[in-house]
Amino acid sequence: MTSPLDEVTALSTPAATELFEQCRPLGEAFATAGYRLYIVGGSVRDLLLGDTSVEPDLDFTTDALPSESKRLLAPLAQSLWTQGERFGTIAAHVDDRLVEVTTHRAESYEPDSRKPNVAYSTEVAVDLGRRDFTINALAIEVTQPEPALIDPFHGLADLCARRLATPLSPEESFSDDPLRMMRAARFVARFDLVAQRELVDAVESMHHRLSVVSVERIRDEFEKLLSLRDPQRGLAFLIDHSLADGFVPELTESVLGRIDWSLLRRDPHVRLAAILAVDPRVDATARLRRLRHSKTTVQRVGGVVRGVRTLIDHAGPWSAGDVRRFVAGRFDLVGDIVEVAGALGAAGATELDSAIRELSVRENLAEMSIPIDGRGVMEDLGLAAGRQVGDALAHLTAHRLEVGPFDRAEATEVLREWLARRSES
């Protein structure tokens, strides 16, 4: 993580100046109506970190009620959405940017539910206090002549000191949304932070509360962690504080140590495949389904895991026939399989990759078809429809994988020899 900028520098960078200029019409509209408007969320944190990019979407908080936000946004917006109005949020497209304006909230949650008891506040500090961590409990007011940082919970100081802390007590924060315990793992890894002792103690005593969070939210948060440049510290946080046990018990300290993360690109599904491929006893498909992954993802990740295990089990050099048999039916997954196997230290990964590259010069490995179908088999061999035709096609497919591509004439010759041997036996 780069060192945070001081407040004056952060609010005067070209990226910040551009952002504030884009927010000026919104700020003036709310100020004229007697309200205050603040940029909140990751955009503020990232400005303080000197991030030169400008987020395509912006989150705001205001003391205006949703009905007033809607009225003030309407003249400036190309389109307006009110689906979140009952939760205090009005969304709009303003100058081709998606903005969400939410009334300051002071909600509470039932102990076993993620449905909030929505309540509004007139104080921005109350709203910031209900956010997950101090580094995100920051706001920039855009209804004053000069933008001003609002930092009631010392988030900038925590960024500078690389501390991860909650605005209120961690027990209260995690009770409001237990997913924040997983989010802590992501921020520890992303920003190289150290979780404060009271935060860690709260996670260790409350990790079971993750059970009230939907599987889909847990899965999505886990994928965000796996998508980081280096997720190892975050994954270790999940393991050390018993969070992984609740949704991916296959992730253990020994599994984490088996994977060379530097060899895996930032694809959460490839990285998940690596976790699930370490122990051959793991039912990867069952785990993926429990995490409510799509059918496409289950097939892809499950296919990679099976391919890795097949590669690891292979003994000896890779003949051309071995390569074709390995590639057949999984051509689109081969790159992922070799990548994951290499990250697991499989000795055969490099050899297979070289063998595939060498054979690809001579053959199109994406195309493994045979030059004859069932009707052709019946015509060439004089067979009636039945099991023997299927056996013939299976034999020809096995021959294709062993010797490589051939034409219809060779196919017929191979089949006649095969049929003659069957007749003799």
- pTM for the whole thing? 0.90
The secondary structure element, H or E, covering residue 250 is none
Residues paired with 89 in a beta bridge:
102
Q: What is the pLDDT of residue 111?
A: 59
The secondary structure element, H or E, covering residue 416 is helix 408-424
The secondary structure element, H or E, covering residue 100 is strand 97-103
pLDDT in tens, 322-348: 999 999 999 999 999 999 999 999 989
Residues 6+ positions from 197 with CB-CB distance below 8 Å: none
DSSP per residue, 126-138: HHHHTSS-GGGS-
Confidence category of residue 116, pLDDT binned at 50, 70, 90: low
Task: For residues 138-142, give the mean pLDDT.
Answer: 97
Beta strand 89-94 with 139-141 is unpaired
Residue 1: is its pLDDT beyond 80? no
Task: For residues 96-119, give the mean pLDDT.
Answer: 77
DSSP per residue, 45-86: HHHHTT-----SEEEEEESS-HHHHHHHHGGG-SEEE-TTGG
Nearest one of 136, 139, 240, 128 to 187, comparing CA atoms? 136
Confidence category of residue 2, pLDDT binned at 50, 70, 90: low
DSSP character for 55? -
Residue 318: is its pLDDT beyond 80? yes
Q: What gap in Å lies between CA 411 and CA 55, rounded to an integer?
A: 60
User: What are 35's two structure tokens?
Assistant: 């309200």
Q: What is the pLDDT of residue 12?
A: 83
Give φ, ψ of 116 to 5 degrees: -80, 150
Residue 113: is its pLDDT beyond 60? no
